[in-house]
Amino acid sequence: MAAAAAANSSAQVSQDQFLQLMVAQLKSQDPLSPTDNGQFLAQLAQFSQLSGIEKLNTSFGDLLSLQEITQGSNLIGKTVSYKNSSGTANGVVLGSALDGSGKLSLQINKDLVPLNQVIGVT
Return the CA Rg of the chain: 24
Q: Is the dihedral of CA 45, 51, 55, 56 positive or negative?
A: positive
Contact 106, 115 (CB under 8 A): yes
Output the pTM of the full model.
0.54
Of residues 98, 51, 89, 44, the one with CA closest to residue 71: 98
Of residues 84, 76, 74, the one with CA closest to residue 116: 84
CATH topology of domain 75-121: SH3 type barrels. (2.30.30)
pLDDT tens-digit series, residues 3-21:
445 545 555 556 777 778 7
pLDDT level of residue 1 (50, 70, 90 thresholds)? very low
Q: In what order do the strands lie in the sheet with 79-84?
A: 111-114, 104-108, 87-98, 79-84, 118-121
Task: Determine what percent of the chain is predicted with pLDDT higher than 70.
Answer: 86
- Identify any residues that bridge with 121 across adjacent strands, giving them in sequence order: 80
Residue 16 host element (H or E):
helix 2-28
pLDDT tens-digit series, residues 19-75:
787 788 778 877 777 767 777 778 778 878 888 888 899 899 889 888 888 888 899
Residue 8 host element (H or E):
helix 2-28
Strand pairing category for 87-98 and 79-84: antiparallel
